[in-house]
Chains A and B, each alone.
Chain A
Amino acid sequence: MISAHLPALQVALPLIAAPLMVLVRRGGIAYGMMLAVAWISLLISLLLAQQVADHGPISYHLGSWAPPWGIEYRVDALSAFVLVLVSLAAAAVVPYSRRSVEAEVSREQHYLFYAMFALCLTGLLGITITGDAFNIFVFLEVSSLSTYVLIALGRDRRALTAAYQYLIMGTIGATFIVIGVGLLYLMTGSLNLVDIAQRLPDVAERRPVLAALAFLTVGISLKLALFPLHLWLPNAYTYAPSSISAFLAATATKVSVYVLIRFYYSVFGETLVFKELPVPLVLLALSLAAMFIASFAALYQENLKRLFAYSSVAQIGYITLGLSLDSVGGLSAAIVHLFNHALAKGALFMLLGGIMLRTGGVSLHCVCGLARRMPLTTFGIVIAGLSLIGVPGTAGFVSKWALITAALEAGLWWLVLLIVASSLLAVAYVWRFVEAAYLRAPAPEATEKIEAPWSMLVPAWVLVALSVYLGFDTRFTLGGATRAAQMLFGAGG
């Protein structure tokens, strides 16, 4: 009986946990609840993915009101894939947070931290699972507002300005999204995504629909930090508490990419967006700019968190590049890169949090000679870095390879050269860490081993190990992404 209600429970569980945490007011109990919620969420999302793979898309009617009147939760190949990604990131980050939160957040705020974390998870899962356009906005704001609070909990006072900046940019983005949804509602009279898609071809007046597309594109691009709308991202990732940097790096922008794909393929349709409008050209140009400019910016950063934040902007460029190719291959490369990049970035930020805990900073001079003092942490960063570059044997290679294949399919051989060239930039910025950690001598007085605590190392290494494992076994990632892409093209074409 319970299996029929999994879509509702996926969202309701963290939503119920958050107020309970506020009621108990104990950091320790709140942590235990959050841990349980994150792991049960992962279990639910895996079960949902299994159900979708076996029986096709699931549609759950909230309050038993049939769509398009009621709100529908809809799980298909793509949303199941993203649900697994989000809940996997939460399941890895929560056990990690215990030590890092104790070090970075004052004790009486612990239960609020976990309550906010639960709300953030609710929002991200809700965006992914809902089939209602306005509901997407509501969940987007649930996750965004809790994210602003979580970022502001960082120790540095610049966390406050980073959170403020993110709040302003994020609200502009969200408001653009509501305007887009509003225009769609005015033209079609429906808020259900499937229903809008069915009614759109009959709309005689094209201009408001195109305006809606433009508003949604800009709004979502702000949220997913598409170059040049990425300005909020480096500061937010740099000054947030370590576990939040890791969770956001793994999920927030990825879920926004999901929303973009959803609107492009399931609502407006591939023909309108990619064939009739110059969207692919714009996306291609911006993606290339992100890949190169953000990578160059990463080369000049002293703060490692900021370095990898810029690298995130560059990596999002690869994802949107896959989108712009407008083929099953390109789309599945984009979706698989969502997953692989989330794993690598999540692991990187978690390991950086360990360095932060032990040495008090993450600037490049802090990590001099750190390979001798924190061997497991530094080695983990190197492996995750290799996955960022796309070295064979890591998950990053799988997605880069898929991207290159898709580019060749489209006959864009120069694009392959550019992808390889920007990967060389990734080599350069990862090398800066390797050089400092392995080749430079540590300060003479600091020689004792200061390896990060196990509770932080193990979750990070699970993600690192997954990054390597998924470089060989691509059944779930590439297989799932390809199924999702085929489904989207089947529905749109």
Chain B
Amino acid sequence: MKHYLVLRVIAKLLIPFMLLFALYVQFHGDFGPGGGFQAGTIAAAAVIFYALIYGLPNARKVMPSWLVEAMIASGVLLYAGVGIAGILLGGNFLDYFVLSADPVAGQHRGIFWVEAGVAITVSGVMLKVFYMFAGRGRDEAE
């Protein structure tokens, strides 16, 4: 891959924009099409793109396997934590109304954290799947 100078330069240029686009989709989810699933996938795609151009070992230096696994778990925990917070604040499970003094603001806050959890888990899972398939047969050889 060392010789494909054009690919490497373009990848370096594109990846920041891909990550930015992921953030845009994430936060635009409040007002239009978008949200955690899409944003997480786009963010994972940026890392996968990096891995395709610069090789899997380099990508693993950026996003180590333990971090990916921790992302999968912590996203779910964040989601469930919002649910438990609803109970602790006197509402039902996953009750966003009680998360803030103003119910509408509470809904906003709840969906914000839930979507953040979704995005973290989805990008973690996507990367995990990619690492598993791409690294298969390679890990033993190293």
Contact = CB atoms under 8 A, between A and B. Distances in A.
Direct contact of A and B (CB under 8 A): yes
Interface stretch (A16-24, A81-89, A361-369, A398-406): A16-24
B92 A19 contact: no
Nearest to B78: A19
B93 A19 contact: no
A8 B83 contact: yes
Interface in B38-77: 69-70, 72-77
Interface of B: 69-70, 72-77, 80, 83-84, 86-87, 91-97
A8 B82 CA distance: 13
Given A12-B80, A16-B77, A20-B77, A63 B94 contact: yes
B4 to A, nearest CB: 37
A16 B117 CA distance: 13
28 contacts: A5-B87, A5-B93, A8-B83, A8-B87, A12-B83, A12-B84, A12-B93, A15-B76, A16-B77, A16-B80, A19-B73, A19-B74, A19-B75, A19-B80, A20-B77, A22-B70, A22-B72, A22-B73, A23-B70, A23-B73, A60-B92, A61-B92, A63-B86, A63-B92, A63-B93, A63-B94, A63-B96, A64-B97
Contacts of A19: 72-77, 80
A103 B74 CA distance: 30
Nearest to A7: B93
A22 B76 CA distance: 11
Contacts of B76: 15, 18-19
A62 interface: yes
Contacts of B72: 19, 22
B25 to A, nearest CB: 23
A15 B97 CA distance: 23
A306 to B, nearest CB: 31
Contacts of B73: 18-20, 22-23
A123 to B, nearest CB: 14
Interface in A48-69: 60-64
Contacts of B87: 5, 8
B110 to A, nearest CB: 8
Contacts of A9: 93
A20 B73 CA distance: 7
A21 to B, nearest CB: 8
Contacts of A61: 92
Given A12-B80, A16-B80, A23 B92 contact: no
B106 to A, nearest CB: 10
Nearest 7 pairs of A and B residues by beta carbon? A8-B93, A19-B73, A22-B73, A63-B94, A19-B76, A64-B95, A16-B80
Interface in A147-193: none
Q: How large is the interface on A (under 10, 10 to 19, 20 to 34, 35 or more residues)?
A: 10 to 19
Nearest to A16: B80
Given A19-B73, A23-B73, A25-B69, 5 more contacts: A8-B83, A19-B72, A19-B75, A63-B86, A64-B97
A5 B77 contact: no
Best-buried of A9, A18, A19, A62 by chain B (most CB within 10 Å) = A19
A163 to B, nearest CB: 16
Nearest to A119: B76
Contacts of A20: 73, 77
Contacts of B93: 5, 8-9, 12, 60, 62-63
B3 to A, nearest CB: 39
B81 to A, nearest CB: 8
Nearest to B96: A63
Contact of B91 (A15, A16, A22, A64): A64
A61 B93 CA distance: 8
B133 to A, nearest CB: 16
Contacts of A23: 70, 73-74, 77
A60 B87 CA distance: 12
A461 B61 CA distance: 51
A20 B95 CA distance: 22
A37 to B, nearest CB: 13
A61 B75 CA distance: 23
A9 B96 CA distance: 17
Contacts of B75: 19
Interface in A1-52: 5, 8-9, 12, 15-16, 18-20, 22-23, 25
Nearest to A112: B69
Contacts of A22: 69-70, 72-73
Given A5-B87, A8-B83, A22-B72, A63 B77 contact: no
Contacts of B83: 8, 12
Given A19-B72, A22-B73, A62 B92 contact: yes
A63 B92 CA distance: 6
Nearest to B87: A5
Contacts of A63: 86, 92-96
A194 to B, nearest CB: 18
Best-buried of A18, A23, A60, A63 by chain B (most CB within 10 Å) = A63
B92 A8 contact: yes
A20 B74 CA distance: 8
Nearest to B81: A16
Contacts of B95: 63-64
A20 B69 CA distance: 11
Best-buried of B87, B92, B95, B96 by chain A (most CB within 10 Å) = B92
A5 B83 CA distance: 11
